[in-house]
Structures are given as structure tokens and as C-alpha cells.
Amino acid sequence: MTMILNDTHDPSLTSWVDSANTPDTDFPIQNLPFCVFRPRGSGQAFRGGVAIGDRIVDLAALGDAVDGAARDAAVLGARDSLNDLMAAGPQAWSALRLALSRLLRSGATPRPHLLVAQADAEYAVPARIGDYTDFYTSIHHATAVGRLFRPDNPLLPNYKWVPIGYHGRASTISVSGQTFTRPRGQTRGPTDAEPSFGPCKRLDYELEVGIFVGRGNDAGEPIPAGQAESHVFGLCLLNDWSARDVQAWEYQPLGPFLSKNFATTISPWIVTLEALAPYRAAWQRDAADPQPLPYLDYDSLRASGGLDIELEVLLETATMRREGQTPARLSQSNFRHSYWTVAQLMAHHTVNGCALNAGDLLGSGTQSGPDSAEAGSLLELTVGGKQPLTLPNGEQRVFIEDGDRVVLRGWAAAPGRPRIGFGEASGTVLPAR
């Protein structure tokens, strides 16, 4: 389903919030992403908010500033999680977005009392995530990783037919700024006679897009691919941290377990599909590849099924932090390279009768592009740990070391349109306990 553009997308719109009008902001008035926040150190209840420039609109403070369906949606969004707003459906989300756009535009009466500085806020995971599923949608990532282990047959036969996924662990998902200890587990090297137990030695990041479910579906009632996007509240950035050595030992025959469930970092901001409507991309499948089965096909798939979202990974080592150096960019990719679309993931997830609920989270899987510089993980960038990366300050990395902070960033841009950003998702690794 292609979102219909409305006056919230007008590229000429500006805001009375001056910081929303700078060309480098992630949060112009055409974006308006959602979060859950509170003033830092206040002890107040967390509540929903919407970004505008370097400020947050406090949904709990709106009162009669909006009315009708927008007011009803704002009341739901002002709660300590966005689940109820997510469940309200796209008409409610769109009504609130439109009302906020008109409230914040240049020419409207400024209402600074509704705003909180982002620098003075702390954030929570924006929804109660009941279930988390991680997919594997980048054929470039799957091929590069497969080639490391199966040089003659990197892609397994099912990859081009079915969106591959596994169920993750919702309890360890945290918002940007997350710190976590290096995981421990069993590993066995290629020449070891038996496994050993200890801290992971091959810790990696995964550059992903997170997909928050809005309206759910009843058990036994699949969501058709052509209607799936009406069940998507929005997108965020997601880092699915991975212990590659633990993963290599445990993943057969049932897939990832301890190698994936110790930490997942998401950005605090959820960008709606409506905000991303002008940044749609054509979706293509090589003519030599199998075309999607009917339940994974839909009218707008090829014309606008993709999303043109730039994705970036940066690394800040402990030395860089101590010496005040700028984080180093490791790679940059784009979500348009995904082999499967957001709608296809939703349709496939529910085709067997599985019920999704508001606030559930889907991960796209590592988003790598066709070029080696677009790899979304160190496993690819270092060719399985065989080719260390040299950072601008001379340090080298094969995998993530203690004290390293990984930062994901994302944005959509098009000629004549503002930059729609996702903020960042950052996480720092502490030594194993």
C-alpha cells in the first residue's frame, strides 16, 4: 500500500521551532517521529512525545491545543508506552500527525510551553514489546556470510523463496545509550577437540531497521501483503548485537540462541510510514530469481515497495572517547537493497495464523549493500576476522572490544525535500562479568 501524500509532506513547510528549519536536522516538521520520554532526573512518569527540531512535543501537555480524533489519539499517546496509540490504527496516527503539523507550522501561534528540550530528556523503549522477530532480508549479507562458511553454496535453497526469520528475546531490548556486559557462552574453534566456556571473543554489531507493529491481527487471520502497511506503526534503527563465536557453535540445528539474546539496541524515535511516503523506492527482483509467491505479491510492490533510507555505522573506541576524537564511520548502506519488503515480512509472519500485537517488533536483519563498503557487520567488513580494519587514529578492529561504542544512524533524503532522520541508536560494550 502506498501512502497518500497530504499537506504534512509539503517541502516548503517550516516551523516556529527554529531548530526544525536547519538543513542538517533529523527532525523537520515533515518528520514528527514518536518516542517515550520524561525530563531527565525528574522522576516523573514517562509519556509519549514527538520530535520537532531539537525539542519534544509533550503529548501529555497538549490539552485543548488539538481536538477531535487528534485529541483522542494524543490522549492514547500520552501514556507511558505507545501501545494504545499503535493499536488505534492509521487513521488515528494520521489525524494526530496532521494536527501537530498545523500546530507547529510557521504562522501558527507559538506554544513553547508544550516543548521539552531533547538535551534535557531521558528515553524509554517506546512500547511494551511482547514479541520480537528478527529477519534476514539482505541477500548481500546472506551471500557474504554464507560464502565464509559455504564457499561453493553461500545461499541455501529456501532463501529466495521465503523470508527467513527467528524469534528473539524482547526482554533485552533497550533504547539508545544502552550499556551491556560482554556475553559469555560456549565456543569451539575449528581445531578444538571440545568446547570451552568464557567471554565471547567475536562480538559484532548488525545494522538493521526495526519495524513496530501497530494494529495487530486475530489468531488465524493472516494479514494480506497489500494491507500489511496499515498494520505498521513505524520504523526505527536496530542493532542486533551478535556473539559470532557462540553463534557458530550453537546455531545448528535450531538457529541462534545465546548468541543473540543478550542485547538489542533501538533508537528512541519511531518514524511513521506516512512521514516516509515521499521516499519510496522501486522494488526489483532479478528476472533470473524466483518471483514472490502470490501471498507475498501485491499491486504496489514493484513500483514503490522499497524505502530509500540511508543507514550508517560509526565506531567510537575508548581511546577516541578519552582523546575527544570523532567516531569513525565503518560503513554506509541503504534499506532499498532489502530482498524482502516490510509488507512481505508482515504478510509472511501471519500467513500461518500467527497473531501479532500492537508494540511487537520485527527486525529487518543486517542491511548490507552490493558493495563491500556497504557491509552491515564486522563479520563481513573483516572477511570473517581475517582482515582487520584500521581506524583513522591507527587503532585496529577485527571485532568489537570492551569500551567500544557503536552508533547507528539513518535518514531519508530526496532532491527538493527535507532530510527525514531517525536519530541514533548507540550501545557500549562493558567487560564480561
Per-residue pLDDT reduced to its tens digit, 202-218: 999 999 999 999 999 99
3-state secondary structure of 280: strand
The grid coordinates listed for 221 are 487471520
Q: What is the pLDDT of residue 266?
A: 98
150 among annotated binding-site residues: yes
Q: Is 206 labeled as ligand-binding?
A: yes
How long, in residues, is the chain? 433
Mean pLDDT of 151-163: 92
Q: How many CA atoms lie within 13 A of 396 on its CB side?
A: 7
Give CA separation, 382 vs 2, 249, 320, 398, in Å.
38, 20, 21, 6
- Model's pTM, two decimal places? 0.97
The pairs formed by 40-49 with CB atoms below 8 angstroms and a separation of 24 or more are 40/120, 40/121, 40/122, 41/122, 45/80, 46/80, 46/81, 46/124, 47/78, 47/79, 47/80, 48/77, 48/78, 48/79, 48/82, 48/85, 48/126, 49/116, 49/121
Residue 267 scores a pLDDT above 50 = yes
Q: How far apart are CA 33 and CA 269, in angstroms?
A: 6
Distance CA 36, CA 38 (A): 7
Provide the pLDDT confidence category of residue 149 given band limits of 50, 70 and 90: confident
Question: Annotation-wise, does 134 bind a ligand?
Answer: yes
Q: Is 247 annotated as a binding residue?
A: yes
Determine the average pLDDT of the residues in 174-197.
Answer: 96
Q: Name the band, by pLDDT with cuts 50, 70 and 90, for residue 5.
A: confident
- C-alpha span between 278 and 9 (Å, rounded): 8
Question: Which CATH architecture fits 132-430?
Answer: Alpha-Beta Complex (3.90)
Q: How confident is the model at residue 153 (pLDDT cuts 50, 70, 90)?
A: confident
Residues of the chain with CATH 3.90.850.10: 132-430
Q: Read off the pLDDT of residues 329-386 as tens digits, 9 standing for 90 and up.
A: 999 999 999 999 999 999 999 999 999 999 999 999 999 999 999 999 999 999 999 9
Q: What is the mean pLDDT of the chain?
A: 96
Q: Is 136 annotated as a binding residue?
A: yes
Instruction: Tell me the average pLDDT across 80-108.
Output: 98
Distance CA 363, CA 260 (A): 12
Q: Other C-beta atoms within 10 Å of 84: how many?
A: 18
Q: How many CA atoms lie within 13 A of 419 on its CB side?
A: 15
Instruction: Locate 280 and state its grid cell.
Output: 519510496
Which pLDDT does position 2 carry in this prediction? 46
Q: Residue 108: CB partners within 8 Å, gap ≥ 6? A: 16, 102
Q: DSSP states of 105-171 as a string?
A: BTTSPP-GGGEEEGGGEEEE-SS----EEEE---HHHHHHHHHHH-TT--S-TTTTTS--EEE--GG
pLDDT 10s digits, 276-307: 999 999 998 999 999 999 999 999 999 999 99
CA atoms within 13 A on the CB side of 331: 24
* Cα–Cα distance for residue pair 193/163, rounded to 1 Å: 36
pLDDT tens sequence across 19-72: 999 999 999 999 999 999 999 999 999 999 999 999 999 999 999 999 999 999
- Assess whether 9 carries a catalytic annotation: no
Q: Which of 9, 141, 337, 349 is catalytic?
A: 141
Residues 6+ apart with CB under 8 A from 155: 139, 142, 143, 146
**Burial degree of 376 (CB within 10 A; 0-12, 13-18, 19+):** buried
Which CATH code fits 7-124? Answer: 2.30.30.230
Query: How far apart are the C-alpha atoms of 378 and 385, rounded to whole Å?
Result: 8
Which ranges in the chain are annotated with CATH 2.30.30.230? Answer: 7-124
Taking 90 as the threshold, does the pLDDT of residue 3 lie above it?
A: no
CA distance readout (Å), 394 to 328, 335, 336, 383, 390: 11, 31, 33, 20, 6
Give the contacts of 145 (CB within 8 A, at least 6 positions apart). 154, 377, 379, 380
pLDDT value of position 4: 61
For residue 1, what pLDDT band results from cuts at 50, 70 and 90? very low
Q: According to the annotation, is 208 in a ligand binding site?
A: yes
Residue 183: band (very low, low, confident or very high) from pLDDT cuts 50, 70, 90: very high
pLDDT for 199 equals: 98
